[in-house]
Protein backbone atom coordinates (compact mmCIF):
# COMPACT_ATOMS: atom_id res chain seq x y z
CA UNK A 1 0.00 0.00 0.00
CA UNK A 2 1.69 3.19 -1.17
CA UNK A 3 0.52 6.45 0.23
CA UNK A 4 -0.05 9.28 -2.17
CA UNK A 5 1.73 12.52 -1.54
CA UNK A 6 -0.51 15.58 -1.08
CA UNK A 7 0.76 16.95 -4.39
CA UNK A 8 -0.66 13.85 -6.08
CA UNK A 9 -3.94 14.30 -4.23
CA UNK A 10 -3.97 17.95 -5.25
CA UNK A 11 -4.64 16.88 -8.81
CA UNK A 12 -7.89 15.27 -7.67
CA UNK A 13 -9.41 18.16 -5.81
CA UNK A 14 -6.73 20.54 -4.67
CA UNK A 15 -5.06 20.78 -1.30
CA UNK A 16 -7.47 23.40 -0.14
CA UNK A 17 -10.48 21.53 -1.46
CA UNK A 18 -10.62 18.69 1.09
CA UNK A 19 -13.12 16.85 -1.13
CA UNK A 20 -11.30 13.54 -0.99
CA UNK A 21 -12.81 10.10 -1.09
CA UNK A 22 -12.62 7.95 2.06
CA UNK A 23 -10.12 5.61 0.39
CA UNK A 24 -7.87 8.59 -0.38
CA UNK A 25 -8.00 9.64 3.26
CA UNK A 26 -7.09 6.16 4.41
CA UNK A 27 -3.95 6.30 2.30
CA UNK A 28 -2.80 9.62 3.80
CA UNK A 29 -0.50 9.95 6.75
CA UNK A 30 -1.30 12.35 9.59
CA UNK A 31 1.33 14.74 8.28
CA UNK A 32 -0.29 14.73 4.86
CA UNK A 33 -3.72 15.32 6.38
CA UNK A 34 -2.30 18.12 8.51
CA UNK A 35 -0.69 19.69 5.45
CA UNK A 36 -3.95 19.40 3.47
CA UNK A 37 -5.97 20.85 6.34
CA UNK A 38 -3.49 23.69 6.87
CA UNK A 39 -3.51 24.49 3.17
CA UNK A 40 -7.30 24.50 3.07
CA UNK A 41 -7.39 26.69 6.16
CA UNK A 42 -4.96 29.20 4.60
CA UNK A 43 -7.04 29.30 1.44
CA UNK A 44 -10.23 29.95 3.41
CA UNK A 45 -8.48 32.56 5.55
CA UNK A 46 -7.52 34.39 2.37
CA UNK A 47 -11.10 34.17 1.12
CA UNK A 48 -12.26 35.53 4.46
CA UNK A 49 -9.79 38.42 4.22
CA UNK A 50 -10.99 39.15 0.68
CA UNK A 51 -14.61 39.18 1.87
CA UNK A 52 -13.70 41.48 4.75
CA UNK A 53 -11.95 43.83 2.32
CA UNK A 54 -14.97 43.83 -0.02
CA UNK A 55 -17.27 44.48 2.94
CA UNK A 56 -15.13 47.41 4.06
CA UNK A 57 -15.23 48.88 0.55
CA UNK A 58 -19.01 48.52 0.44
CA UNK A 59 -19.29 50.13 3.86
CA UNK A 60 -17.24 53.08 2.61
CA UNK A 61 -19.60 53.47 -0.35
CA UNK A 62 -22.60 53.25 2.00
CA UNK A 63 -21.09 55.84 4.33
CA UNK A 64 -20.53 58.24 1.44
CA UNK A 65 -24.10 57.63 0.24
CA UNK A 66 -25.51 58.41 3.68
CA UNK A 67 -23.46 61.61 3.87
CA UNK A 68 -24.83 62.74 0.51
CA UNK A 69 -28.35 62.01 1.73
CA UNK A 70 -27.77 63.98 4.92
CA UNK A 71 -26.27 66.86 2.94
CA UNK A 72 -29.30 66.96 0.63
CA UNK A 73 -31.66 66.87 3.60
CA UNK A 74 -29.75 69.72 5.23
CA UNK A 75 -29.99 71.78 2.05
CA UNK A 76 -33.72 71.13 1.77
CA UNK A 77 -34.23 71.92 5.45
CA UNK A 78 -32.32 75.19 5.08
CA UNK A 79 -34.42 76.19 2.07
CA UNK A 80 -37.62 75.33 3.97
CA UNK A 81 -36.39 77.42 6.90
CA UNK A 82 -35.68 80.38 4.60
CA UNK A 83 -39.14 80.08 3.06
CA UNK A 84 -40.77 80.01 6.49
CA UNK A 85 -38.72 83.01 7.62
CA UNK A 86 -39.79 84.97 4.53
CA UNK A 87 -43.42 84.03 5.18
CA UNK A 88 -43.21 85.13 8.81
CA UNK A 89 -41.49 88.40 7.87
CA UNK A 90 -44.10 89.10 5.18
CA UNK A 91 -46.92 88.30 7.61
CA UNK A 92 -45.41 90.60 10.25
CA UNK A 93 -45.00 93.40 7.69
CA UNK A 94 -48.59 92.98 6.48
CA UNK A 95 -49.84 92.98 10.08
CA UNK A 96 -47.90 96.17 10.79
CA UNK A 97 -49.36 97.78 7.64
CA UNK A 98 -52.89 96.78 8.70
CA UNK A 99 -52.27 98.11 12.20
CA UNK A 100 -51.05 101.40 10.72
CA UNK A 101 -54.03 101.53 8.36
CA UNK A 102 -56.51 100.93 11.20
CA UNK A 103 -54.78 103.59 13.29
CA UNK A 104 -55.19 106.02 10.37
CA UNK A 105 -58.86 105.04 10.01
CA UNK A 106 -59.42 105.69 13.73
CA UNK A 107 -57.70 109.09 13.39
CA UNK A 108 -59.90 109.90 10.40
CA UNK A 109 -63.04 109.03 12.40
CA UNK A 110 -61.80 111.11 15.32
CA UNK A 111 -61.18 114.03 12.94
CA UNK A 112 -64.64 113.61 11.44
CA UNK A 113 -66.21 113.54 14.91
CA UNK A 114 -64.24 116.63 15.90
CA UNK A 115 -65.57 118.47 12.84
CA UNK A 116 -69.14 117.50 13.70
CA UNK A 117 -68.87 118.97 17.18
Segment-wise mean pLDDT, segments of 10 residues, the chain, 117 residues: 46 52 79 88 95 97 89 90 97 97 96 90
* pLDDT value for 18: 59
pTM: 0.43
pLDDT at 15: 44
Could you write out the three-class secondary structure of the chain? Answer: CCCCCHHHHHHHHCCCCCCCCHHHHHHCCHHHHHHHHHHHHHHHHHHHHHHHHHHHHHHHHHHHHHHHHHHHHHHHHHHHHHHHHHHHHHHHHHHHHHHHHHHHHHHHHHHHHHHHC
Q: What is the pLDDT of residue 71?
A: 84
Q: What is the pLDDT of residue 25?
A: 75
What pLDDT is stored for residue 9 in this prediction? 46
Q: How far apart are CA 53 and CA 41, in angstroms?
A: 18
Cβ atoms of 27 and 4 within 8 Å: the answer is yes
* Rounded distance between C-alpha atoms, residue 12 and residue 1, angstroms: 19
Question: What's the pLDDT at 80?
Answer: 95
Please provide residue 3's backbone torsions phi and psi, each rounded to the nearest 5 degrees.
-90, 140
Q: What is the pLDDT of residue 1?
A: 41
Q: Mean pLDDT of all residues in the chain?
A: 84
Amino acid sequence: MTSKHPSQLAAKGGLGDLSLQPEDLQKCSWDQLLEMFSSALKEHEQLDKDLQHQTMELLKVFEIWTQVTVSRDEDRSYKRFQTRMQHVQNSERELEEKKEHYANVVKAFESALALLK
